[in-house]
Amino acid sequence: MHHSYIDKFSYQNSIIHRLDSRVKVITVLIYTAMVISLPKTYLTVLTCYLVGPFALLVLGKIPLKFAFKQVLLVSPFILVLALSSPFYDRASLTVPFGPITWQISRGWLRCCVILAKFVITMLALIALVSTTRFSALLHGLQKMGVPKILVIQLGFLYRYIFLFIDKVQHILQARAARKMRNLGFKKETKVAAAMLGSLLIKSINAAENVSIAMQARGFDGHFRTLTKSKIKANDIIFALVAVSLMIFLHFIIRPVMT
Amino acid sequence: MHMANELLSVPVAAGTLGIAAAGLGLICRKARTIVTSDKLALMGILGAFIFAAQMVNFQLPAMPGTSGHMVGAVLLAIILGPNLGAIVISSVVIIQCLIFQDGGLLALGCNIINMALVPSYLGYFIYKSITNARSYTPLRFYIGAALASVISIEAGAALVPIEAALSGVLVVPFSTFLITMLGVHLLIGTIEGIITVAVLGYIKQVRPDILAEIIPGKIRLTKKTVLTTFLILAVIIAAGFSLLASDLPDGLEWAYAQRPDQPDFSPAVENKNPKINAVDEFQAKYSPMPDYSTRTAPIGQTLQQQKELAAGWTSFAGVIGSLLTMAFIYIFAWGLKKTKRQEELNSN
C-alpha cells in the first residue's frame, strides 16, 4: 500500500545529503531554538530566518512543494492555537512596512508570528530528515551518547512501522468493506478491541519469529556496521557557514530589525 | 497532545529536554540488566504495534462524526513493565517527531515526559496498587487497567498547560487552558480505559498465556522510585498551582505585572524576562495612545514617528534582502544541477 512518509528523499545524493548527521542535527536544533526565542510580535525578522531552512532544502534537492505540503499536513493543531490569540489580544497596532503603513490588532500579529515560526522550524526539521538516512541519523545519535538500547529500539521501530501500518490498513479496509453503518458504541468498541487484540497477538508472534531468526544468524544484542562516521572537511565548512549565518542573524539582523 | 515548539520558551524546552534525556538514560541503564537479545525484537515490534494501533479508529458515542483511537501507554506498561514500556513509548514519540512531524524538535523533551514517562510509570503504579498479587480478581485487574489509563492520560494532559505557562507563552488564561485540556482528556482517557480493558479481555480469551506471566507478578517499583516520582510530581504540581494562584486575581496580568503605561503602578512581580519586556517596549513604542493620551504632535513629525517609519523601512529592507538571498540560492542550486547534468552528458 501507499505511504506518504517524509523521509522518502533521504536516499538521494547531494551536498547536504553527504554531510555528517551529527552536524546537521546540532545545527537544526540550535537554529530551531534561535527561531523560537525571537520576540512574539516581530513578523518581518522571521523572513530573514527563513533563509536557513530554505537553503538546506534547495541545496538538498528537496522539492519545495513537497516540503510545504508536509507542513500543511501537520498544521491543524498549531492553527487552532494561533487562531485563538486574536480573540484574547485585541490591542490595535500601527505597523509600518516600507512605503505602506497599516493597522492590525496585536492578536493577529502574534497569530502570524506563531504560524511563521511553525513553518520555519518545521521546514528545518523536514530539511534534516529528508536529507539524512534514518540509519545514519541513529548512528550519529549513538555517537552523541544516546543509550544503545534506545538506538536499537528506534532502529527496530523504523524497520517495522511501515510493515505494521500496511497490516492495519488491510484490517481497516476489511472492516470498512463489511461495516455499512454506525454500529453503536458497544459494538464499535468490541470490533475495535478485537482488531487491536488480534494485531497485538500477531505482533507478539512476529517478534518471536524475528528474534529466533536473528539469533540463528548470530545476533547478540550488538549491531556491527562497516560505516565509520568521521567528520570530513565538508562538514567543517558546512558548520562554519551555518555558524556564521547564525551569528549574522542573531547579532546583526535581529537587533536592527527588532 | 503533541506539543509544538511554539508552546515553549527556550529555557523550558532545554530543561525538559534535559529531564527527559536524564530520565531515559537512567531507565536505559536500569533496563540493560533486564533486556535480553530476544526482548529487543519484542520491544521494537510492540512499538510498531502501538503505531498501527493508533490508526484503528472507532466511532464515539453522542458525538457523530468524531472518532477516537488508542494511545496504548498503559497497555504496554502492563505487558512489558514500566521500564521497557517507557523506552518503547519514548521511541514511538521520537519517531513521530522525526518521521511524521507530530510535535516539534524542541518540544521533544516535553512530549517524552507527558506521553511516555509519566503515563508509563504513573499508570503502572496505579495498576499495580489496585491489582496486587495477593488479592487478585479479574474485576480488580480490569478496574486497575481502566483507572490507570484515565489518570495517567489526565496527568500527562495537565502537564501541557503547566509547561506552556512556565514558558510564559500563553495567550489564553492559564486556568481556561488547564480546564479545557483536562476536560478533553477526561473523555480521551475514558475511551482509552474502555478500549484497554476490551483489548485485555480479548487477549485473555484468545491467548491467556500472554497475560499469565504478568498477573501474578510482584510490585517491581522500589520505594525509592515511588518517592522520587512523587517528589517530581509534587514540584510540578506546586509550580502549576503557584501559577494558577497568581493567575486568579486578574487573568493575564501576571505576565504584564510591570506596566509601562502606568508609571505609578509598582509591580508586585518584577519580570526580567527579555521577551516580555520586548513586548511591553513594543507596545509603548507603537501604541497610538501612549500613557492613555492621544498624540499631541501631528503624525510624521515627532521623533517617535520618524523612528517608527525608520523601523518600517528596516523591516522592509530585511524582507526584500531575505527574498533576494533565497532567490540567489535557488538559482545557484539550479545552476549547480544544470552543470552537473552537462558533465554527465559529456562523460557519457
Residue of A168, A150, A225 lying closest to B57 (CA atoms): A168
CA atoms of B95 and A158, how far apart (whole Å) = 8
CA atoms of A198 and A201, how far apart (whole Å) = 5
Within-domain flag for A211:
yes
Within-domain flag for A65:
yes
Query: In terms of domains, do B139 and B32 share one?
Result: yes
ipTM, interface predicted TM-score of the complex: 0.82
Query: In terms of domains, do B221 and B312 share one?
Result: no
Domain span holding position A164: 147-216
Query: In terms of domains, do A79 and A197 share one?
Result: no
A200 to chain B nearest CA, in Å? 7
DSSP B87: H
The verdict on B221 touching A (C-beta cutoff 8 Å) is no
Contact B45 A206 (CB under 8 A): yes
The verdict on B311 touching A (C-beta cutoff 8 Å) is yes
Q: Residue B235's domain is classified under what CATH number?
A: 1.10.1760.20
Q: Which of A212-249 are b and which e, b meaning 16 or more Cβ less than 10 Å from the residue's Cβ?
A: eebeeeebeeeeeeeeeeeeeeebeebbeebeebbeeb
Helix (H) / strand (E) element for B248: namely: none
CA atoms of B87 and B76, how far apart (whole Å) = 10
Give the number of C-alpha atoms closer than 13 A to the C-alpha of residue B110, restricted to the C-beta side. Answer: 32
Query: In terms of domains, do A34 and A58 share one?
Result: yes
What is the residue-level pLDDT of chain A in tens, covering all 258 positions? 455 566 778 888 888 888 998 999 999 999 998 998 888 778 888 888 999 999 999 999 889 998 888 888 877 778 877 887 787 777 777 777 777 777 888 888 888 888 899 999 999 998 998 998 888 888 888 888 888 888 888 888 888 888 888 888 899 999 989 888 777 778 888 888 899 999 998 888 888 898 899 889 888 777 777 767 788 898 999 999 999 999 988 888 888 777
Query: In terms of domains, do B158 and B232 share one?
Result: yes
Counting the structural domains of chain B, the total is: 3
Query: In terms of domains, do B323 and B238 share one?
Result: no
Query: In terms of domains, do B144 and B174 share one?
Result: yes
Q: How far is CA A92 from CA A102, B101, B282, B289, B316, in A?
A: 10, 34, 12, 10, 21
Query: In terms of domains, do B267 and B329 share one?
Result: no
Q: Point out the residues of chain B with pLDDT beneath 70.
A: 60-67, 133-136, 212-311, 348
Using a CB-CB cut-off of 8 Å, the residues of chain B touching A171 are 56
What pairs with residue B59 in β-bridges? B67
Query: In terms of domains, do B106 and B231 share one?
Result: yes
Contact B99 A182 (CB under 8 A): no
What pairs with residue A105 in β-bridges? A92
Within-domain flag for A225:
no
Query: In terms of domains, do B188 and B167 share one?
Result: yes
Using a CB-CB cut-off of 8 Å, the residues of chain A touching B46 are 200, 203-204, 207
Query: In terms of domains, do B341 and B224 share one?
Result: no
Query: In terms of domains, do B71 and B187 share one?
Result: yes
Substitution target in A16, A111, A200 with the highest count of B β-carbons within 10 Å is A200
Query: In terms of domains, do A128 and A154 share one?
Result: no
CA atoms of B127 and B142, how far apart (whole Å) = 9
B244 to chain A nearest CA, in Å? 18
Query: In terms of domains, do A134 and A252 share one?
Result: yes
CA atoms of A128 and A20, how far apart (whole Å) = 11
Measured over the CA atoms of residue A46, residue A47, residue A48 and residue A54, the dihedral's sign is positive
Phi-psi region of A245 (alpha: psi -120 to 50; beta: other; left: phi over 0): alpha
- By CA distance, what is B39's nearest residue in A? A211
Query: In terms of domains, do A47 and A134 share one?
Result: yes
Annotate B23-41 with three-state secondary structure: HHHHHHHHHCCCCCHHHHH
Using a CB-CB cut-off of 8 Å, the residues of chain A touching B60 are 185
List of E strands, chain B: 57-59, 67-69
Contact A125 B323 (CB under 8 A): no
- By CA distance, what is B277's nearest residue in A? A39
CA atoms of A204 and B164, how far apart (whole Å) = 38
B 107-166 residues inside an 8 A Cβ radius of A: none
Contact B38 A196 (CB under 8 A): no
Query: In terms of domains, do A98 and A210 share one?
Result: no
Q: Scanning the structure block, which residue is given the C-alpha cell 537553503?
A: A55
Contact A257 B318 (CB under 8 A): yes
Query: In terms of domains, do A192 and A237 share one?
Result: no
Q: How far is CA A231 from CA A18, A20, A22, A234, B57, in A?
A: 11, 7, 9, 8, 46
Residues A117-136: tens digit of each pLDDT: 999 999 999 899 899 888 88
Counting the structural domains of chain A, the total is: 2
Within-domain flag for A224:
no
Substitution target in A189, A250, A257 with the highest count of B β-carbons within 10 Å is A189
Contact B49 A185 (CB under 8 A): no
Substitution target in A9, A133, A153 with the highest count of B β-carbons within 10 Å is A153
Query: In terms of domains, do A82 and A172 share one?
Result: no
A182 to chain B nearest CA, in Å? 7
Angle at B90 between CA B84 and CA B95, to 5 degrees: 130
Q: How far is CA B290 from CA B49, B195, B296, B303, in A?
A: 59, 57, 10, 14
Query: In terms of domains, do A33 and A102 share one?
Result: yes
Query: In terms of domains, do A118 and A180 share one?
Result: no
Nearest to A160 among B7, B45, B106 (CB): B45
Query: In terms of domains, do A10 and A68 share one?
Result: yes
What's the pLDDT score for residue B113? Answer: 92
Within-domain flag for A176:
yes
What's the pLDDT score for residue B307? Answer: 64
Query: In terms of domains, do B28 and B153 share one?
Result: yes
Within-domain flag for A106:
yes
CA atoms of B165 and B113, how far apart (whole Å) = 16
Contact A45 B38 (CB under 8 A): no
Query: In terms of domains, do B17 and B33 share one?
Result: yes
Domain span holding position B163: 5-249
Contact A117 B106 (CB under 8 A): no
